[in-house]
Amino acid sequence: MIFNPESRRRFLWRAGRYLYCRARGEVANAIETNGEAYVQACVIKGTQSSEIPLTVFDIGANLGKWTTSLLAQIPEERAGQARISMFEPVPSTYEKLLKNMKGLEHGGMAKAWPLAMSNGEGEAEMVILSESGGTNSLEFDHELARQALNKVKIRKDTVDHFCQQEKIDHIHLLKCDTEGHDAHALEGVRAMLTGEQVDVAQFEYNQRWIYARSYLKDVFDLIDGLPYSVGRIQPGMIEVFESWHFELERFFEGNYLIVHDRALDWFNIRKGRFDSSNTYA
């Protein structure tokens, strides 16, 4: 087979990217297989002897798929003893979420709020790229805004302020999927993290972080000096990083965790490090 220069370069690029992603452990982003359901199961098991009800935040709930996965794994004897707060700021998506949750409330365990979680309170503009596709975002540039169906004004709050208002003293699992706004949403958890009132915080990282001018380093800086680690969710395990490294900033879509030291033994943990050649194992 004869390749012209452009085809040859594209072939080599695709082959190299495939090998690089395999070496990094990049996986398809599906709750059932990417490790997210595994994290849910580990937290449910790890908190079974907790003196307080299982408390979970689903930030960027969309239509409730992540919470549905969580509810399906809660044992019957704990049904009704969990407190799940879901946050979805887009009005049309929020209405669909409420309809979806009618049969999934499990005795009032799950409650939805028409809010975005951020690093400040007030209003913000959000681009609507699809009515309920889960890609609507607070982070956008002119090109993304041009592609949008429309823009809507939404209300936003911080996790810290919300917890004060609702008298929530502890979060066992916080999940954040906000299409690039995740680092800002995590900034709004600063007081709870400083007070060691969060066991596990999951967040999505992808190319949308570029629009927010955010980096994984921001997350490492957020927990600097606190008894937390940053790790990446893998099928059946958590890969914990000893520190930030620039090789992590590739903006490949994946899910990461902030884990308190007391919760590390809830998971199968793998620890590695970067060497002088900037490779990780």
The residue written with tokens 């041009």 in the block is 146
Neighbours of 195 (CB within 10 A): 13
pLDDT for 81-91, tens place per residue? 899 999 999 99
**What's the whole-number average pLDDT of the chain?**
93
pLDDT at 134 over 90: no
Instruction: Give yes or no for residue 107 having a pLDDT over 70.
Output: no
Token pair for residue 38? 């595994």
Q: How much is the pLDDT for 135?
A: 82
The model carries a pTM of 0.93
Indicate whether 114 pLDDT > 90: yes
Whether the predicted pLDDT of 116 surpasses 60: yes
Q: Is the pLDDT of residue 2 over 90?
A: no
Q: What is the mean pLDDT of residues 32-46?
A: 97
Q: 30-119+158-272: what fold?
A: Rossmann fold (3.40.50)
- For the chain, what are the domain ranges? 30-119+158-272
